Structure 1
Amino acid sequence: MISTATITSLGHKGEGLAEIDGHKVFVPLALPGERVEIEFEGDRGTLLGVMAPAENRIEPFCPHFGACGGCQLQHLDRPSYEAFKIGLIETPLRFAGIELPVSRFIDAAGDGRRRATLHARQEGVGYMRLRSHQVHDIDFCPILVPGLAKAPDIARAVFQAVGDADVSIVASLSGLDVAIRTEKKQARHDRVAPLVARFKLARLALNGEMVLQAQPPIVEMGRARVELPIGCFLQATAAAENLLADYVVNALDRKAKTVADLFCGLGPFALRLAEKLPVRAFDNDKPSIAALDLARRHAKGLREVTAKAQDLFREPLTQYELNYDFLVLDPPRSGAEAQVREIAKSKVTTVVMAACDPRTFARDAAILVAGGYTMSDLVALDQFTQSTHVEMAATFRR
């Protein structure tokens, strides 16, 4: 059905919200205040035209915007963009009973995203289209670091070798680290191995197994150099990792003597905290724990880092095990409810929590506040630029 409507607000997915005959309709690419023509079915609308554009509408910087689903906010001016992302953080906190404004909005884009996953399909190579499982073919992506300029070419070559695949590429200090995921039976190692020489890759993996490694992919974390395990988690931008680490280190109380890093991953916080104090580090990913331990042993000027593989979702550290002055945790999108409930019952003096999902962050923050902590210095870090994702961190003190 085709109709004209006025956009009243912006939903948390960056879609304009209109009301037609008493029903809410979500319209991607539309902005509050705009009079638009849309085609809709149920609550899903498609923008056909903007009859009266909003004052905060700007020209997108990427020609793929609007078709590619990788970005949702390139048409929004900077003040409105920042306000939208701040709202993503503050609104769930308000619903959780916490009235604390974001104190700083930090641009964490740096040189761009250092990792990307491109989908290689018959219809092309790129990211999924808006509201679709079809791929929008791209020749470049302006939000990636320059070192990933060849990412579309690499993904096309992967498709030629094995057919449909998802191709994850990380720009490391020693070259590109490429990991291929595919269900195609013709995906043999010998079909993709030539790509290492062709594109001068550091490493190539297929379905979690290493095909060929010219040199270990390396990233720097403070004074340490960390070898990346295949398929490991890495912050989207190097700038965001550095800014988050600075936040954590600056929150460290001078009187603190015992420190732990929960959901430590490769150790971006643990390795920097170890420049000051010994650190206990925990994560359920064994390859990341091994990489952290290796990096610490080869780094100079660090205190001891004791890294342990432990599933903190099923086996959280209990209130009796949390004998630390300072804790930092950066859980995945699902949050850390079980672990946070134990922290709330503990005597830990200071907790820094980083997160990438505002809703689970608000839930976990409310548990800490109910347990007697005071929440402060709430910051937003914008590393997922032009998308509806946002990173956040806050300090909790007894």
Structure 2
Amino acid sequence: MTTTTTITSLGQRAEGVAEIDGVRVFVPLALPGEVVEIEAEGDRGTLLSVLEPSPNRIAPFCPHFGQCGGCQTQHMDRPTYEAFKTALVQTPLRFANIDTEITQFIDAGGAGRRRATLHARKEGAGYMRLRSHQVHDIDHCPILVPALARAPEITRAIHEAIGEADVSFTATITGLDVGVRTEKARASAKRLEPLVGRFRLARLALNGELILQAQPPVAGMGKARVELPMGSFLQATDAAQNLLADYVAEALKGAKTVADLFCGVGPFALRLAEQAKVYAVDSDKAGILALDKARRHTSGLKQLTAQYRDLFREPLTRYELADYDAVVLDPPRAGAEAQVKELAASKVKTVAMIACDARTFARDAAILIAGGYTLADLRAVDQFVHSTHIEIASTFRR
């Protein structure tokens, strides 16, 4: 059904929201206050034209915007964009009955994203189209770091070698770390080997198995250099990693003993160990081994112990936590419910929590507050620029 309607608000996916015959219809690329012509089907609307544009609409900087689904917000001016991102954090907090304001909105885009996953399909190499499982072919992506400028070209070369695949890129100090995933049972690793030399890759893997490694992919973390395991977690931008590490170090300043829970490969633990005794824990065995190796090869650190432990099933208890002045938490999207329940019953004075999901953050924050903590600081860290994701940096104090 083609209809003319007015957009009244923005949804959590940056879609404009209109009400048509009592149904909320979500329209990508539309802004509040705009009169638009759309094709409506159920609660999904497709923007056909903007009849009365919002004064907050700006021209996107990427020619692929609107077709490529990689970005959702390039049409928003800065105040609208920041208000949208801020609401992503504050709305779940209000539902959790936490009345607080974001103290700072931080642009952590830096030089661009150092991580990306492109898709190789018959229609080309790029990101999925908006609301589609088809790929939009791109020649470049302006939100990536310059080191990933050839990512579309590499993705096309992988398609020529083995067919359809998903290709994950990480730009590291020593070169590109590339991981290929395909459902083809007989995908030939041999056909991919020449790409390492052709594109000067640091490492190339197929379905989690190493094909060739010219040199270990390395990331800097404070004084340390960490050799990244295949598939390890890394913040999307180098700027965000440094900003978050600075934030955690300042929040926990003065603490003599720190537990770094969900530590990954150690972006916080290795920085904190410059000023405190650190116990670092994660369920990623390869990440723990990489962190421990970096510790052994870095001078000037205080005692740093890295240990494998599943904090979802076996959180540090309130009795174990008695050994620490402060805790840093950086859980995955599922949050850290079991661990924060133990923290709420502990006597730990300061908790710095970094979160990538606002809903689970609100749930975990409510548990800490009910246990006697005050949410002393809350910041929105925008490393996933022009997307509908936001990172959260927070400090809780007794």
Give the TM-score category using the shorter length. over 0.9
1:103 maps to what in 2?
103
The number of aligned residues is 397
Q: Identical aligned pairs, as a percentage? A: 71
Distance 2:124 2:134 in 1: 9
1:167 maps to what in 2?
167
Q: How does 1:93-242 map to 2 (within 5 A)?
A: 93-242=93-242
What are the ranges of 5 or more consecutive residues in structure 1 without an aligned counterpart?
none
Q: How does 1:1-398 map to 2 (within 5 A)?
A: 1-254=1-254, 256-323=255-322, 324-398=324-398
Residue 253 of structure 1: how far off its partner (Å) = 4.0
Distance 1:22 1:179 in 2: 46
User: Which amino acid in structure 1 is aligned with residue 299 of structure 2?
Assistant: K
User: Which amino acid in structure 1 is aligned with residue 156 of structure 2?
Assistant: R
Please list every run of at least 4 consecutive aligned residues from structure 1 whose deviation after the TM superposition is greater than 3 angstroms.
Answer: none
Residue 319 of structure 1: how far off its partner (Å) = 1.2
Distance 1:194 1:9 in 2: 51
Distance 1:202 1:99 in 2: 47
Residue 185 of structure 1: how far off its partner (Å) = 2.4
TM-score, length basis structure 1: 0.99
Residue 393 of structure 1: how far off its partner (Å) = 1.0
Residue 176 of structure 1: how far off its partner (Å) = 0.6
> Secondary structure, in 3 states, of the residue corresponding to 1:54?
coil
> Secondary structure, in 3 states, of the residue corresponding to 1:25?
strand
Residue 257 of structure 1: how far off its partner (Å) = 2.0
Residue 376 of structure 1: how far off its partner (Å) = 1.5
Is residue 256–residue 275 contact of structure 2 (8 Å, CA) maintained in 1? no
Residue 292 of structure 1: how far off its partner (Å) = 0.4
Residue 252 of structure 1: how far off its partner (Å) = 1.3
Question: C-alpha offsets along residues 370-395 of structure 1, whole Å, 9 cap, x if unaligned?
Answer: 11000021001110000010001110
RMSD: 0.7
Is residue 274–residue 301 contact of structure 2 (8 Å, CA) maintained in 1? yes
> Secondary structure, in 3 states, of the residue corresponding to 1:322?
helix
Is residue 337–residue 364 contact of structure 2 (8 Å, CA) maintained in 1? yes
Distance 1:205 1:79 in 2: 42
Question: C-alpha offsets along residues 193-213 of structure 1, whole Å, 9 cap, x if unaligned?
Answer: 110001011111111111101
Is residue 380–residue 392 contact of structure 2 (8 Å, CA) maintained in 1? yes
Distance 1:186 1:139 in 2: 29
Is residue 260–residue 281 contact of structure 2 (8 Å, CA) maintained in 1? yes
Question: C-alpha offsets along residues 26-82 of structure 1, whole Å, 9 cap, x if unaligned?
Answer: 000000000000001110000000000000000000000000111000000001101
